[in-house]
Structure 1
Amino acid sequence: MASPFKTVALFGANGQVGNRVFKALIRCKGPEFSVIAFVSPNSSFNLMDYGDINATVKRVDLNHVARDDLVAILADAKVDVVISALGGQIIAKQCVIQDAAAKAGVKRFYPSEFGMHQVAWLPDEGAYLDPVSDVDLDLKAISSSLSNNTKIWALKIKCFEDAIRHPAIKSGQMSYTVIGCGEFYDAPGEPLLCPWLEKDESISKGGYSIQCVGDPDAKMDYSSLTDIANFVVATLRHPERSENRILGFRSDHITYNEIARLLQKYSGKPAKINITSVDQMRAILKDPSSAPKELLRGSTFPVDFWMILRHVQGQGVFWRPPGLLHNDLFPEVKPVSVEEYFRNLFAK
């Protein structure tokens, strides 16, 4: 059955996830989608970099755009689907986008998820979400108090909850698709979290150091940005399978010790696990500036954020159980394992 969706508006088309989704959308030929790429006004994103494609670009400052201006753009283009691939603080504007999409008659909304919701449990301390845990989880309160720390995690969870309970969703006017995944092993610009992508030879020539908190033999879900982008397109090609669904996808289920062995095998360089204890992590959460210098560089994420992520992984709970994984719904998306990725990466 041919997809009823023809035109897709992608917000954050220049971002880490958004750009891979954009590339997957413009490569799709069965059906061919018309894509509207929304990026910030100062973005270097240029359609000329992609050849002859069925796409247009809209440079919009989401911090200042009026809802009705977005309504006009989406309605004029007869947009069927809106995909939000926003990250960081700007995700707080996702509600404006969805309001505009509803008013413009958009049929399907994809909120920015592309990850996994987690609450970290610290020994003898109970649940730890992030420093906003003692603040009322109201979008305005969160966004106004945001700083470069793990409050962004709470904001993302709040945006997700609001998106799937939007009035247009509740009334049946609009459907939703949510896509969750594991940590990305092919994230450019994240050499601390993906040390195999370190471009500075002075750092990587002696080998690789993989950061871990807790147990390096704990299994966790990993995903490829390219795989998840292909999964998004598959859900658009088969909208009846993805309507009003929260879908999970992973490319591999693996431990850090296994990753280290594979990394050493295919790179030919030493690969070690740098284990941070839970007590050391606690001290860093209280005072992020106290972290060792090597942990304060190489990531777009602040140290307290990724330390909590690594802690959850080290607890062995960063994975989706049967019933919450949906790779089988779209068998045309062939996941690339970490081993296959390393084989291809270092063969170059």
Structure 2
Amino acid sequence: MSDIKSVAIAGAFGTFGSHVLKALVDAKFKVKILTRSAKSADTYAGVEQIEVDYASIESLSAALKGIDAVVSTVAAAAIGTQGPLIDAAAIAGVKRFIPSEYGAVTTNPKVQTFPLYDNIFKMRNLLQEKADAGQTTWTVLALGAFLEFLFEGPASIVNFKECKALLLDEGDNRFSANSLAASAEAIAGILKNPIATKNRVVHISQAILTQNQILKLAQKLRPEDQWEIEKVASSAMREEALAGFRAGDFSLPVIVKLILGTGIAGETYGGAYAETDNDLLGIKQFSGDDLTQSVAEKLA
């Protein structure tokens, strides 16, 4: 496979997409941003923005002419709408497609019938069909959890501000985690190594963590805090989320319960990666000091 030099990004102005954009620019790729509204935001010098209709294969395939790779970083709600983009990439002769997936257990067959996950499997199956037909290739990046999201926001596993922790099971379930920046660098690493990453899932893991590990570190750094700790079975959280979906509730709290109830369910779905592609993709593991600094910053 020839070198990949030009890359189009879908979702470049999102939280993860902005990190991917920077990583690709830093890695000297020629980058084109696919956007619903041309010039929707300022970006790096030399980066082209092109307005597309994400529902139109014709619009997308025209925008992808001469592009070697597509990286999709669209939001979770849009994962199931990547079909036209995948079709257009195949028509345009794009060599590599990286779908928006970026999860912990998204490749485990046990979750493929769950809401949210079902769309991920549909997109990956579509990509495999294109690969079988010799129209394109694909790579899925499995990265566990974004470290920043674990420490802050609706999916945080320890609430540093309020000194509250809701521990799944007993708090010792292991899961892999990576920073947004490192995950974006892994995207660039995939495109620098197209043969070694062709038509497969690659795994990265800067750290394998547990909730108790993070909680104990916070308690050590600030022993004067009084923590409120609750425990819930990951299976119960999962079932509560699925019941919500069955009732038509697709709100963020329900989505978060499903993500946590699967991604941080220990060996049930395999959220901790014993074997990784860190070396291939240039990802360095966290040291104890790195993790301590990350927690200390949240306690400041």
TM over 0.5: yes
1:5 CA drift (Å):
1.4
Shift of 1:21: 0.8
Which residue does the alignment assign to 2:205? 250
Alignment of 1:162 with 2:126, yes or no, is yes
Q: TM-score, normalised by structure 1?
A: 0.71
1:263 to 218, 221, 226: 218
Alignment of 1:286 with 2:243, yes or no, is yes
**Superposition map of 1:135-154 within 5 A:** 151-154=115-118
Give CA-to-partner distance per residue, 1:49-89, whole Å, 9 cap, x none: x4xx3311234342xx42111111111xx111111112323
8 Å Cα contact 1:218-1:316 kept in structure 2: yes
Note if contact 1:182-1:319 (Cα within 8 Å) is conserved in structure 2.
Answer: yes
2:253 alignment counterpart: 303
In the alignment, which residue of structure 1 is the partner of 2:280? 329
| Residue range with higher mean Cα deviation, 258-267 or 170-179 | 258-267
Match of 1:184?
146
Q: Distance in 2 between matches of 1:186 and 1:261?
A: 18
Q: What is the correspondence of 1:1-348 to structure 2 with a 5 Å cutoff? A: 4-28=3-27, 32-41=28-37, 45-47=41-43, 50=44, 53-62=45-54, 65-75=55-65, 78-117=66-105, 129=111, 133=113, 151-166=115-130, 169-187=131-149, 191-194=153-156, 204=161, 207-266=162-221, 269=225, 273-277=229-233, 281=237, 282=239, 285-287=242-244, 302-312=252-262, 313-317=264-268, 318-323=270-275, 325-330=276-281, 332-336=282-286, 340-344=290-294, 346=296
Instruction: Output the amino acid matched with 1:85.
Output: T
Q: 1:34 to 1:272 in 2, by over 3 A?
A: farther
- Note the alpha carbon deviations across 1:270-306, whole angstroms, 9 max, x for none: 5554322468634565358xxxxxxxxxxx9623332
2:195 aligns to what SS in structure 1?
helix
SS at 1:14 equivalent: coil
- Report sequence identity in percent: 24
Matched residue pairs, number? 291
Q: Using the TM superposition, give the Cα deviation of residue 181 of structure 1 relative to its aligned residue in structure 2, in angstroms.
A: 1.2
Distance 1:191 1:223, change over 3 A: same
Instruction: Sort the Cα spacing of 1:272 and 1:161 in 2 relative to 1 into closer, same or farther, 3 A.
Output: farther
Superposed CA RMSD in Å reads 3.5
Asked if 1 retains the 8 angstrom alpha-carbon contact of 2:70 and 2:98, the reply is yes
Q: Which deviates the most, 110-119 or 257-266?
A: 110-119
Structure 1: how far apart are the matches of 2:115 and 2:230?
26
How far is the alpha carbon of 1:41 from its aligned partner? 2.9
- Matched residues in 2 for 1:8 and 1:117: separation? 27
Instruction: Report the Cα offset of residue 44 of structure 1.
Output: 5.6
Query: Does the CA-based 8 Å contact 2:7-2:29 persist in structure 1?
Result: yes
C-alpha distance in 1 between matches for 2:221 and 2:166: 19
Distance 1:67 1:327 in 2: 35
8 Å CA contact retained: 2:20, 2:187: yes
Which amino acid counterpart does residue 155 of structure 1 have in structure 2?
A: N
**With structure 2 as the length reference, what TM-score do the two structures score?**
0.81
Tell me, yes or no, if the aligned pair for 1:34 and 1:55 is still in contact at 8 Å: yes
Unpaired segments of 5 or more residues in structure 2?
none
Partner SS for 1:151: coil
Residue identity matched to 1:152: L
SS class of match (1:242)? coil
Q: CA deviation at 1:165?
A: 2.4
| Equivalent pair of 1:213/1:275 in contact (CA under 8 Å) | yes
Q: Cα 1:270–1:162, aligned 2, differ >3 Å: closer, same or farther?
A: farther
For residues 42 and 264 of structure 1, the distance between their equivalents in structure 2, rounded to whole angstroms, comes to 48
**What amino acid sits opposite 2:3 in the alignment?**
P
Q: Is the 8 A contact 2:157 2:211 kept in 1?
A: no
